[in-house]
Structure 1
């Protein structure tokens, strides 16, 4: 049976996952916000050509650092969205939620740093 956490508790777990990132990465995340939403919107799912929506755990909106041009204007806002109910729906206990949040946060941060799905899969964050 899926576990359910309060919005505050889930948000704290996301914050803990972010706090565990090495400082050398955090310095490149100043203009990146991370937020929690219950589920992806229909519009987002349609734009990503995904049916259903239960398997989308997070998404990165922005231009990866590897594709930025110093002369180009900043494309605001850059953000990561973590989908609480989708993560909870695949977890059976609190520890699994913690591990899945960490994996999802690292996956989306990886996109910010220019990694693609294959890169992330090789690192265990696919």
Structure 2
């Protein structure tokens, strides 16, 4: 993606702030009109998803969840909706770092870009099947 740069080689694991900075670069590099809509979404970075989130999603291993969109997709909104909080994307640092190391051939910036774009796609109303049809990241 245009404008997203990778960080120098790390001698220690990238911190939450490092992942957040990469995510902000990704958001800033989105083409219009996506960038405008993406600005309304909060981006949070934590080490792992909470136990409540993992339980709700039926996930036993916290390392299996790299990101999560929490909100109402744009395609499902109504003028009658009164949101109780802003839409948010959660990036989970430790699972992202694990997958980055496992893959070996991708940069951290590419890894964060993939996870964040996947979650923004949910914000724009795309299903997992829609995303998989154009982005076969797992291959």
TM-score normalised to the size of structure 1? Answer: 0.88
Matched residue SS, 2:38: coil
Matched, 1:45 2:54: yes
Matched, 1:105 2:116: yes
Matched, 1:19 2:21: no
Which consecutive unaligned segments of at least 5 residues does structure 2 have?
A: 1-11
- Is the deviation greater in 23-32 or in 75-84? 23-32
Question: What's the offset of the Cα at 1:49?
Answer: 0.9
* Paired residues of 2:27 and 2:38 also in contact (CA < 8 A): no
TM-score normalised to the size of structure 2? Answer: 0.81
Looking at structure 2, the residues matched to 49 and 107 of structure 1 have their Cα atoms a distance apart, in angstroms, of 20
Name the counterpart of 1:116: 127
* Paired residues of 2:68 and 2:119 also in contact (CA < 8 A): yes
Matched residue SS, 1:39: coil
Matched, 1:28 2:37: yes
Q: How many equivalent pairs are there?
A: 124
18 and 59 in structure 1: CA distance in 2 versus 1, 3 angstrom threshold: same
Matches within 5 A, 1:53-72: 53-72=62-81
| Aligned-residue RMSD, C-alpha | 1.9
Looking at structure 2, the residues matched to 94 and 16 of structure 1 have their Cα atoms a distance apart, in angstroms, of 21
- Is the deviation greater in 85-94 or in 109-118? 85-94
Q: How big is each residue's C-alpha offset from its partner over 1:62-85, in whole Å with a ceiling of 9 and x where there is no partner?
A: 010000001221241310000011
Question: What's the offset of the Cα at 1:91?
Answer: 1.5
